[in-house]
A = this chain, B = another copy of it.
């Protein structure tokens, strides 16, 4: 791996950090989504210059996790005793839209389970409360940004497969794609077999 991709690896070597793909005013980019928990009363804090729709994704991810707590091996009683903080650097860049949903989900489950996310993996996709993954826009720009940053695997919604087919093959070299339709599939790929 290049020095840059080593950076990406090290950035995610703590539980609670996942790599998303975004399409902001400065073009395609990777986003580190960071979650942290501390003793509290169930408050959710969201920082990093996030718009309302992106904040709603965080709320939706958290409700989904609560509804699947037992299945995910998380103590359902623990949510009321913790404050959760999700931060997305870089604060100077406004961020919005629903596409960070699966990354927020992965970041939170990684935190609650105490296991790190698979390295060199990025993802983008909207989430729903019943566990579906929905397609998002800006796929080409996001994939190019992922490659530039040393990412090797990307999780996308199955309905975004058609957007990958439209990209010239030479840009996709060295990238492995995972197509999913269900949020549990995302977690299987991102967290399975890790500690």
Chain A residues engaging chain B, CB cutoff 8 angstroms: 11, 14, 16-17, 32, 34-40, 42, 45, 47-49, 52-53, 56-57, 59-60, 63-64, 66-67, 76-77, 79-80, 83, 85, 87, 89-92, 97-98, 101, 126, 128-132, 134, 137
Contacts and interface: CB of A to CB of B under 8 A. Distances in A.
A165 to B, nearest CB: 19
Contacts of A91: 53, 56-57, 97-98, 101, 126
A32 B66 CA distance: 20
A130 B63 contact: no
The SS class assigned to the A binding surface is mixed
B17 A130 contact: yes
A54 to B, nearest CB: 8
Given A79-B39, A128-B89, A56 B48 contact: yes
A84 to B, nearest CB: 9
Given A49-B56, A56-B48, A63-B85, A34 B134 contact: no
A167 to B, nearest CB: 22
Contact of A98 (B40, B83, B90): B90
Contacts of A77: 39
A87 B47 contact: no
Contacts of A34: 128-130
Contact of A47 (B14, B59, B80): B59
A53 B128 CA distance: 22
Given A53-B49, A56-B49, A63-B45, A126 B89 contact: yes
B57 A11 contact: no
User: What are the 6 closest A-B residue pairs judged by CB atoms, nearest first?
Assistant: A91-B98, A34-B129, A47-B56, A38-B66, A87-B129, A63-B85
A48 B126 CA distance: 11
B85 A60 contact: yes
A123 to B, nearest CB: 16
